Chain A
Amino acid sequence: MGDAKPRRPDPAALEPEAAREAFYDYVYLRDNPNGIFREYWYHSSGCHQWLVVTRDLRTHAIAGVEPASCAGVEPAS
C-alpha cells in the first residue's frame, strides 16, 4: 500500500509557504530506494490490520513485519 516513510505534515504548525512545500514533498516526492524499503501492507482478506513490512526491493526478501500502530515510524518533525 505504498511507502510508510512519508508523514503527513500538520498545516496548523507551519507558515503557508512552508506548509505548501511540506505538502508538495509529502504528496509527490519519494525516496524510491533501490534496496531496503518500509511499506504499508493491509490484510484486506483477513484481520484488516495495517502492517509495516520491511522488504528489499531488489529481491523481494522480507526482513521484518510489525503492526503499523506500534511500528515506530519516524514522528513528524
Chain B
Amino acid sequence: MRYSAFSLIKNALSGQRHWQPAWRDAVPRDLYDVVIVGGGGHGLAAAYYLAEQHGITSVAVLEKSWIGSGNAGRNTTIIRSNYMLPGNVAFYELSMKLWEGMEQALNYNTMVSQRGVLNLCHSDAQRDAYARRGNAMRLHGIDSELLDRDQVRAMAPFLNFDDARFPIQGGLLQRRGGTARHDAVVWGYARAADQRGVDIVQNCEVTGIRITAGKVQGVETSRGYIGARKVALVCAGNSSVVAAMAGLRLPIESHVLQAFVSEAVKPLIDTVITYGAGHFYISQSDKGGLVFGGDLDGYNSYASRGNLPTLEDVCEGGMSLMPMIGRIRLLRQWGGIMDMSMDGSPIIDHTPVEGLYLNAGWCYGGFKATPASGFCLAHLVAQDSPHPVATAYRLDRFATGHMIDEKGSGAQPNLH
C-alpha cells in the first residue's frame, strides 16, 4: 500500500485497522538468483536496487536476527559527503544524492535532515588541511564552505571559544550534510524491496557456504539449505566469520565503537558538530536527546559493548567543546561491532570464489554510505563489473598497493 496524507487520514478515520505489514515474513525458497547475507541497511539497500535498477527480483535477504539489529540500529545517524581521496569522493556524493531523493523513491519517511555538518579546526595546519579537503570536494561539484571563527560563533555560539590550548579557528561546513533516522532507512528499503518481490527472511543464520569447483552453490542456514546463483556477504562486523565459511581471510579486524544518547532536552544543537582537537561528534535528535560518540575503544571485540575509560574520554571531548552539556544526564550507552579495514576504507568486490561477492570494511562510517553501498553492490552483482564510483574498493588493493587511507594511519585498524 502507498503511504500518503490520504492514507493517513483514511486510516485515522477507520480506527487504524487497515494498515498492512510493511514487509512479508517470507518463507525461504529452494533457489534464488541472488542471496544477500546480512539484513542491515546495506544488504536491504542492495536488494532494493537489484530489483529496482536491474530488474532482478529472485532475491533473498537472510538476516540472523531482526533486520537492522546490527550497526544500522546503533549508529549516530550522521550523513555527509565530505571526503577527500579520489577513491572516496564520488562514492559518498552518490550516496548523498541518493539520500536527497530517498523519501520520494521509497515512499517512506526516513527523516533525512540536511542540517549541515560542521568540522571544527583548531590550528593553522588543520585549517589548511580542511581547506584542501573542501577544495577537493568543490572540484567534484560538492558543496563546502570554510568558515572563520566569527562565522562559527554565529552558527554555534555555545561552543567554547575561550580555550587557549585548542582555540576554534573556524570550520569546514557541508550544508547538505546532516542526519537521517537509521531505523527508518532499514524499514524503508525493506518495504520497498519486498514490494518488488524480494524475500526478507529473518531469524535465518547462515552457517555455511556451499562451494563446488570454486563456484558458490548456496548457503547452509539455521532454516535449511538455500541454493543461490550468486551470494553477497554484507555482514559488517561479522564479515570475517562469514567469509571464513568460504575459506577466506579478510583484511579486517572487528572492533567495538560506543555511542551515547542523553536525556531529551529542548532544542539546543541544530546542526552536526565535530571536534577537531579530539574525536567527538554530536547532534540532537528530534526527540531531544543529544546523540554523540567518539573514538573506538581500541581493542578487538564482538561483544557490542565497550568500557568506561572510553566513555570518560568521549565526555571529556564534549565538555571541552561545549561545556553547557555538563549538567545533562546520560540516558543510554551501547556498542556495535565495526568491521575495521586495514586502510579505513570499504571493500565492494568479487572474491576469489566465483559468484561470491563481498561488501565489508565500512569501519564506523557505514551509515552515510548505506544508499551508495547498496547501489554499487547491486551494480557489481548484476553486471559483474564495479560501478564507476566504486572501482577503487578492491579486495586486492592491499596486495597491489592501492590503499585509500583518508586518515593516513597505515595498517592499524584501531587507528582508522
A residues contacting B by CB (< 8 A) are 2-3, 24-25, 27-34, 37, 39, 57-60
| Chain B interface size, under 10 / 10 to 19 / 20 to 34 / 35 or more | 20 to 34
Which residue of A28, A37, A57 is within 8 Å of B342 (Cβ)? A28
B66 at the interface (CB under 8 A from A): no
Contact of A32 with B399 in the complex, beta carbons under 8 Å: no
Which B residues, 250 to 269, have Cβ-Cβ distances below 8 Å to chain A? 250-254
B residues contacting A by CB (< 8 A) are 238, 240-241, 244, 249-254, 299-303, 342, 398-399, 411, 414
Contact of A28 with B303 in the complex, beta carbons under 8 Å: no
Complex Cα gap A27–B414 (Å) = 14
**Additional 9 contacts, C-beta under 8 A, given A31-B249, A58-B303:** A24-B399, A27-B342, A28-B399, A29-B251, A30-B250, A32-B300, A34-B302, A60-B301, A60-B303
CB distance from B413 to the nearest CB of A (A): 8
Q: A57-B300, A59-B303, A60-B301 are in contact. Are A30 and B249 (CB under 8 A)?
A: yes
Contact of B240 with A39 in the complex, beta carbons under 8 Å: no
Contact of A57 with B399 in the complex, beta carbons under 8 Å: no
A and B contact pairs by CB, cutoff 8 A, 25 listed: A2-B300, A3-B253, A24-B398, A27-B342, A28-B342, A28-B399, A28-B411, A29-B249, A29-B250, A29-B251, A30-B250, A31-B244, A32-B240, A32-B252, A32-B253, A32-B254, A34-B240, A34-B241, A34-B254, A37-B300, A57-B300, A57-B302, A57-B303, A58-B302, A58-B303
Complex Cα gap A58–B300 (Å) = 10
| Across the A-B interface, the 6 shortest Cβ-Cβ residue pairs | A32-B240, A28-B251, A28-B398, A29-B249, A57-B302, A34-B241
CB distance from B398 to the nearest CB of A (A): 4
Complex Cα gap A60–B300 (Å) = 10
Complex Cα gap A73–B238 (Å) = 26
Q: Output the nearest chain B residue to A1 by Cβ-Cβ distance.
A: B299
Q: Output the nearest chain A residue to B400 by Cβ-Cβ distance.
A: A24
Q: A24-B398, A24-B399 are in contact. Are A30 and B253 (CB under 8 A)?
A: yes
Q: A28-B342, A29-B249, A57-B254 are in contact. Are A34 and B303 (CB under 8 A)?
A: no
**Interface SS, A side:** loop
Complex Cα gap A39–B238 (Å) = 19
Q: Give the chain B neighbours of A30 by CB distance below 8 A.
A: 240, 249-253
Q: Give the chain B neighbours of A39 by CB distance below 8 A.
A: 299-300
CB distance from B278 to the nearest CB of A (A): 20
CB distance from B250 to the nearest CB of A (A): 7
Max chain A Cβ within 10 angstroms of own Cβ: one of B240, B299, B301, B398: B299
Complex Cα gap A58–B256 (Å) = 11
Q: Give the chain A neighbours of B414 by CB distance below 8 A.
A: 2
Q: Give the chain A neighbours of B398 by CB distance below 8 A.
A: 24, 27-28
Contact of A34 with B252 in the complex, beta carbons under 8 Å: no
Which residue of A29, A31, A34 is within 8 Å of B238 (Cβ)? A34
Q: Give the chain A neighbours of B252 by CB distance below 8 A.
A: 30, 32
Q: Give the chain A neighbours of B342 by CB distance below 8 A.
A: 27-28
Complex Cα gap A58–B335 (Å) = 13
Max chain A Cβ within 10 angstroms of own Cβ: one of B238, B399, B411: B399
Q: Output the nearest chain A residue to B243 by Cβ-Cβ distance.
A: A32
Q: Give the chain A neighbours of B254 by CB distance below 8 A.
A: 32, 34, 57
Complex Cα gap A47–B238 (Å) = 35
Q: Give the chain A neighbours of B303 by CB distance below 8 A.
A: 57-60
Q: Give the chain B neighbours of A58 by CB distance below 8 A.
A: 302-303
Complex Cα gap A33–B245 (Å) = 12
Q: Output the nearest chain B residue to A20 by Cβ-Cβ distance.
A: B399
Max chain B Cβ within 10 angstroms of own Cβ: one of A27, A30, A58: A30
CB distance from A22 to the nearest CB of B (A): 12
Q: Give the chain A neighbours of B399 by CB distance below 8 A.
A: 24, 28
Q: A37-B300, A39-B300, A60-B301 are in contact. Are A31 and B411 (CB under 8 A)?
A: no
Q: A24-B399, A27-B411 are in contact. Are A32 and B301 (CB under 8 A)?
A: no
Q: Give the chain B neighbours of A3 by CB distance below 8 A.
A: 253, 300
CB distance from A67 to the nearest CB of B (A): 19
Complex Cα gap A28–B412 (Å) = 9
Q: Output the nearest chain B residue to A39 by Cβ-Cβ distance.
A: B300
Complex Cα gap A48–B249 (Å) = 32
CB distance from A57 to the nearest CB of B (A): 5
Q: Output the nearest chain A residue to B252 by Cβ-Cβ distance.
A: A32
Contact of A57 with B301 in the complex, beta carbons under 8 Å: yes
